[in-house]
Chain A
Amino acid sequence: MIAMRPLVLLSPTAILGYGFPVTSLERGLSFGPDAIAVDAGSSDPGPFYLGSGKSFVPRKAVKRDLGFLLRSARALRAPLLIGSAGGSGARPHLDWCREILLETAVEEGLSFRLAVIAADVSKQYLDDALRQGRVKPLGPAPELTAETIQGSTGLVAQMGVVPLIEALDGGAEVVLAGRCYDPAVFAALPIRSGYPAGLALHLGKILECAAIAATPGSGSDCMIGILEADRFLVEPAGLERRATTASVAAHTLYEKSNPYLLPGPGGSLDLRETTFEQVSARRVAVAGTRYCSDDSCSVKVEGAQPAGYRVVSIAGARDPSFISGLDAILDGVRERTRDNFRDEREQYTLIFHIYGRDGVMGSQEPHPAPGQEIGIVMEAVADSREMAEAVLGFARSTLLHFGYPGRLCTAGNLAFPYSPSDFPAGEAYQFSVHHLVAMKSPTELFPVVFEEVRA
């Protein structure tokens, strides 16, 4: 390989909208980054956001970060890449983020060539892929069915670096991508410039969580990556943080099933020969990570579907005999509720979470002994809001006045912190698709659309 100058990448924050100190951003910019990249998404906050088309980060927080990043990138003449726009990276999230971006450009008087890359998968496409045997479950996910595809409201595929490189080749100065493999926004420019894919993607894996891989860790502070021909360096921008071999190696484990082999679009990262070296007090060098292309052109497809309407009520209980008899009392309330609505055709689910006993771990709690008081979160889920409200209201009032052996507190069993006692939680969603789909070409799902943004 010909001698390559080091390529510098700046990751301002773990998720667009999580923020960063301005002093850290300025220190990061002083390294002269060749690109600023930020991951905006995750499936971690659960299925609601993908299914409903809503962002899990507030608009004002995203706009604050975008203002700084857009100004910085344009001043440096370096590309700004944003992955998994709007959190889940489906069309409504992408449009939401694009609107904030354009609004910011107008307010800041900035002009640039923008590439927008959608990541939506049509039901027709997925149905065809299913019938052609091109779909398989990822890990413990169930087999996909045509019925599940039809019932899903958000379907996205995770793009790799190929569409992002297409955007950079087309002269994009800002790339706004829908659902994206987290490291791809960091690795696209280096891979396009000829750096080894294994090192570029492993660096992306670390940078996508910004300073979480430093010590003390932070999801709202900047991280700098410097890629050389045969290794990369990482260093947090905030001077009170350090990258250590322990903090960087530990991050390699984070949220992964197996840290040695990390599958992604188009291939896997192989960390079996990776070395971590402390090269200065705040900087770690990483080498030896390899990339194994799998030639299958497979992408991860994610989907969510509505699971009913949810209503929630919160109460506490302090009476010792109520707490010690709770399981029998709740069985009694479930039975009364079943009997009360036995003529209704609509199904419902009624759940009691008992905080102070096993509310966090359920049946896996090793010490399910309640304290002197417990918190009860009641939830009812049904197809219609009316049914969910009726079931929850009945169960709540039945529990409040339920008689049990040895009852002293005959005025009521529950302490409610709020009036109203019941809260509509809206549509509930569940993940419906978590599958690998073999594409016919790596770009067929990810159309790159260019536009000239003029302030």
Chain B
Amino acid sequence: MSEDARETAKPLNVKPLLEIASVVRTKNAGPYELTIDIIFRDREIYERVKAAESLNATLIARLYGVPQQDILEALYFDPACAFKATMKRPLPCGQIGETDIYGAQQHAPLLDLFVSF
């Protein structure tokens, strides 16, 4: 590939999420919902991830092994350079069988993620 071709092709970058995010967290949003916040370190990378739509409801459903209709929101929030997804909790908070009352430790499936942008 020539130098020129390489520049015009502009291949997408692929990086581990942990290299481009400063916050990866989950928390209850009320007793029946769990919300994921991913905040990017850098506005430029955030804008490129958003433009590429690399993070979306389908991806979150696959990572958490839930049907896509359980993903209630998936959106980008420019003021915070953040992606947010909200899903139905597998069990309402505190129901018999609960493992995480606050929902604060449900982010592990995101930690291995590679993001293209």
What is the interface of chain A, defined by CB distance below 8 A to chain B? 43-48, 138-141, 245-246, 249-250, 252-260, 271, 274-276, 307-308, 349, 351, 353, 359-367, 381, 428-431, 434
Please list the 9 inter-chain residue pairs (A to B) with the smallest Cβ-Cβ separation, ordered nearest first.
Answer: A46-B94, A249-B80, A249-B79, A257-B86, A47-B94, A140-B32, A140-B88, A250-B80, A431-B31
| A364→B90 contact, CB < 8 A | yes
Asked if residues B79 and A274 are in contact (CB atoms below 8 Å), the reply is yes
Contact with A along B1-14 (1 / 0, CB 8 A): 00000000000000
- CB-nearest residue of chain B relative to A51? B94
CA distance A451 to B31 in the complex (A): 35
Check A366/B112 contact, CB under 8 A, given A46-B94, A253-B37, A359-B99. yes
Residue B53 CB within 8 A of the other chain:
no
- Establish whether residues B79 and A46, one from each chain, have CB atoms under 8 Å apart when the complex forms: no
Contacts A44-B28, A363-B65 given; indicate if A276 touches B92 (C-beta within 8 A).
no
Residue of A138, A140, A252 near B79 (CB, 8 A) is A252
CB closest residue in chain B, given A245: B79
Between A and B, how many residue pairs show CB distances below 8 Å? 135
**Contact of A353 with B101 at beta-carbon distance under 8 Å, contacts A48-B94, A138-B30, A260-B77 already known:** no
Q: How far is the CA of A431 from the CA of B98 in the complex (A)?
A: 12
> Is A361 within 8 A of B106, CB to CB?
yes
The residues of A that contact B95 with a CB separation of less than 8 Å are 307, 430-431
If A246-B80, A249-B79, A363-B65 touch, whether A353 touches B96 (CB-CB below 8 Å) is no
List 14 A-B residue pairs with CB atoms under 8 Å apart, sorted by A's residue number. Answer: A45-B102, A140-B72, A140-B88, A140-B89, A250-B39, A254-B27, A258-B84, A260-B77, A360-B99, A360-B100, A360-B108, A366-B112, A431-B31, A434-B92
Contact of A253 among B33, B82, B100 (CB under 8 A): B82
Q: A252-B80, A254-B27, A430-B96 are in contact. List 4 more A-B contacts (CB 8 A).
A: A46-B98, A139-B72, A249-B77, A258-B84
Which of A141, A253, A259, A308 gathers most chain B CB within 10 Å? Answer: A253
Task: Verify A250–B27 contact, CB threshold 8 A.
Answer: no
Give the chain B neighbours of A359 by CB distance below 8 A: 99
| Docked complex Cα distance between A249 and B46 (Å) | 15
Contact B109 A364 (CB under 8 A): yes
> Is B114's beta carbon under 8 Å from chain A?
no
| A349 CA to B96 CA, complexed, in Å | 8
Chain B residues within 8 Å of A139, by CB:
30, 32-33, 72, 88
| Partner among A254, A257, A428 whose Cβ is within 8 Å of the Cβ of B33 | A257
Contacts of A353 in B (CB 8 A): 99
**Which chain B residues border A250 with CB–CB below 8 Å?**
23, 37, 39, 80, 82
Contacts of B101 in A (CB 8 A): 44-46
Closest Cβ–Cβ distance, residue B26 to chain A (whole Å):
10
- B117 contacts which chain A residues (CB < 8 A)? none
- Pick the contact of A43 from B30, B80, B90, B106 — CB < 8 Å? B30
A258 B108 Cβ-Cβ under 8 A: no
Nearest residue (CB) in B for A256 is B29
The CA of A353 and the CA of B100, in the complex, are separated in Å by 11
Whether B80 contacts A361 by the Cβ 8 Å rule is no
Q: How far is the CA of A359 from the CA of B97 in the complex (A)?
A: 11
Minimum distance in angstroms from A152 CB to a CB of chain B: 14
Residue B105 interfacial (CB < 8 Å): yes
Could you say which of B37, B92, B100 has the most chain A C-beta atoms within 10 Å of its C-beta? B92
Q: Which B47-106 residues have C-beta < 8 A from chain A?
A: 63-65, 72-73, 75, 77, 79-82, 84, 86, 88-90, 92-102, 105-106
A253 CA to B23 CA, complexed, in Å = 12
CB closest residue in chain A, given B102: A44
CA distance A363 to B108 in the complex (A): 12
Instruction: Name the CB-closest residue of B to A43.
Output: B31
List, in ascending order, chain A residues with CB within 8 A of B96's CB: 307-308, 349, 351, 381, 428, 430
A364-B80 Cα distance, complex, nearest whole Å: 28
| Residues in A whose Cβ lies below 8 Å from that of B33 | 139-140, 257
Chain A residues within 8 Å of B82, by CB: 249-250, 253
Q: Given the complex of chains A and B, what is the CA–CA distance between A252 and B35 in angstroms?
A: 13
Chain B residues, Cβ within 8 Å of A429: 94
A141: chain B residues within 8 A (beta carbon): 31-32, 92
* A274–B80 alpha-carbon span in the complex (Å): 12
Q: Is the CB of B73 within 8 A of A257?
A: yes
> Known contacts being A250-B23, A276-B79, A431-B93, is A255 close to B108, with CB within 8 Å?
no
What is the CA–CA distance of A181 and B18 in the complex, to the nearest angstrom?
Answer: 35
Q: Which residues of A contact B37 (CB under 8 A)?
A: 250, 253-254
- Tell me whether B77 and A259 are in contact (CB under 8 A): yes
Interface centre among A252, A275, A381, A430 (most CB of B within 10 A): A430
Q: Cα distance A360–B104 when bound, in Å?
A: 10
Interface centre among B37, B82, B90, B94 (most CB of A within 10 A): B94
Asked, given contacts A46-B94, A47-B94, A361-B108, whether A257 binds B99 with beta carbons under 8 Å apart, the answer is no
**Could you say which of B31, B84, B90, B105 contacts A360, with CB atoms under 8 Å apart?**
B105
Using A362-B99, A364-B106 as known contacts, say yes or no to A255 and B39 having CB atoms under 8 A apart: no
